Structure formats: structure tokens, C-alpha cells
Structure 1
Amino acid sequence: MERVFRYPIEVRFRDLDAMGHVNNAVTVTYLEVARTRFWLSQFRDFAKEVDFPFVVARVAVNYRRPIRLHDTLEVELWVSHVGRSSFTITYRVWASGELAADGETVQVHYDYSQGRPQSFGPELRERLEGLLIAGEPQPSV
């Protein structure tokens, strides 16, 4: 099982702001798209009545260079921490081979019927810990 997930993103004209580069909020959407694809590739079998039993509790992004319309994008992500009821995903956004952004999100395992976080069950914890990467993996670009 590949622990670093990679997902290509196409920059659309509507992603640009008045300065001619991708708006900072759109970069967060790129992380969301990659995270959703990661979820579907790794955890679809944990979805019951709710498609995604996780809520995002924290988003942090460092913008390293502007992303332009002509850039070829790839989002890399991996699980960097597993807690009792939450886990952290770390990201790198590559634009035409250069680091354009990096960051992380914290996802909380959430019980929608109770309206509160819930601990990971043993099977989900084992799956998350199997994806865990301590430290930072080598760049793919």
C-alpha cells in the first residue's frame, strides 16, 4: 500500500483572482479535493450512513509561491499523526515541479447521531497507523 497519495489538479481560469494567480482559498479547495480522493481510495468501506465520518477541525496552509493558470499541479498527502479520535494529514502542493504550498489538516472521527467526536475503533486505528509516516517523505517532484 502506497503511503504517500498523489493527485493531479487542473488549474481552471475561474480559480484565478485579480492578481492573476490562484486565490488562496482555492488552494484549500485543492487540498480538499485530494483529501477526498485519498479517503475514497483508502476508507470507503468505513462509510455507513454518512459518506465521510470525519470533520475537519483545523486547516493550515503555507503559501510558498504563486500558482498560475499554466502550472501543472500535483498534491501529495500523507497521514502524519494519529491520535485517539483525530488524525493529521500533511500536504505538499507542487506547481510545475516547484513547491507552491504546504500545510496540514486535522480530521476528527465524528459521530453525527451523537454530535460529538468518537474514538477510533481498532480496525480504523490499525488502517490509519498503517498509513502513518513519521517525518517527511522524499519529494516526488
Structure 2
Amino acid sequence: MQDITFKHTLPVQLRFNDIDALGHVNNSVYFTFYDLGKARYFEEVKRSPINWNDADLVIANVNANFLSPVFMSESIAVQTATLSIGNKSLKVVQRIINTDTKEVKATCETILVGFDVATSSAKEISVEWKEAISFYEGRELCK
């Protein structure tokens, strides 16, 4: 993952049922952390709660890398940033870190596409999203 400044960090509380038989967080649970991070990130970007019944962004692709196991005794957080915005898609990067040591435990790249709920079809990313994300990130993200 290239050098990125993460302005959004969300502490995550580990639960007993997150842990698998090997004593570390099960790999499927990481995606729950990433989803929670994206939801809170977009709410912060928009400065308001997101109406998920009228979502105009949907996930098209997710790629995750598991770098080091997370154990129940660790304090972790998920960090989220938008890397780029195209006409019909945007790329979000995330990582899970140990908040005490700052060790990166896992990384994730997600492609989201613009979506029209009424027609169930792809659409361009709205100017509102482009402006809000670029403003939040403090840099021009549009290709």
C-alpha cells in the first residue's frame, strides 16, 4: 500500500466471538471491521448519518491482505482513506493497526461504484460525493 495519510481512525472493540480456535481474530471478521470503518468514514465525510436505504455507492471489489494475526489482548483500530475517484467508481484503502505499537496488521482496498437504487444500475459518482471526499481528504482525488 502506497504512503497514505489516514485522517479517519475508528477504534474497534474485539469480542470473544471474533476469536477462532487458533486464538486470533478470524479472517472473516476483518471484513466486518472494514465495513464499520467505511460506514463511519462516509458519515464523517458527509457530516451526517447516511441513509443506507438510499445508498448511491455499492461495493464492486474487495482485496485484503492479512499481514500479522490480531489477538484478543490487542487494542486495534481501522483506518480509512479514499485513494482516488473516477467517473463511476472510487477506491478506498483501509488498514487495521495495533493502536499501542502502530503495527499494521492487515490492509484492504475496496472499489465502490456509483449506484442508482431506482434502476438498480451503475451511475456516475455524484459531484456531491466527489467534493465532500476531496474536501475531507484535503486533496483533489478525481482522475
TM-score (norm. length: structure 2): 0.82
In the alignment, structure 2 segments of 5+ residues that lack a partner are none
Which residue of 2 is the match for residue 121 of structure 1? Answer: 126
* Consecutive unaligned residues in structure 1, runs of 5 or more: 135-141
Please give the alpha-carbon distance, in whole angstroms, between the structure 1 residues aligned to 2:138 and 2:16.
Answer: 35
Alignment root-mean-square deviation, CA: 2.4
Match for residue 38 of structure 1 among 20, 41, 54:
41
Q: 1:45 to 1:73 in 2, by over 3 A?
A: closer
Q: Distance in 1 between matches of 2:34 and 2:113?
A: 16
Distance 2:66 2:46 in 1: 29
1:14 aligns with 2:17: yes
Q: Which residue, out of 54, 59, 62, partners 2:57? A: 54
| Identical positions, percent | 25
Q: Secondary structure at the match of 1:128?
A: helix
Alignment pair present for 1:72 and 2:78: no
Provide the rounded CA distance (Å) in 2 between the counterparts of 1:67 and 1:87. 28
4+ residue segments displaced more than 6 Å:
none
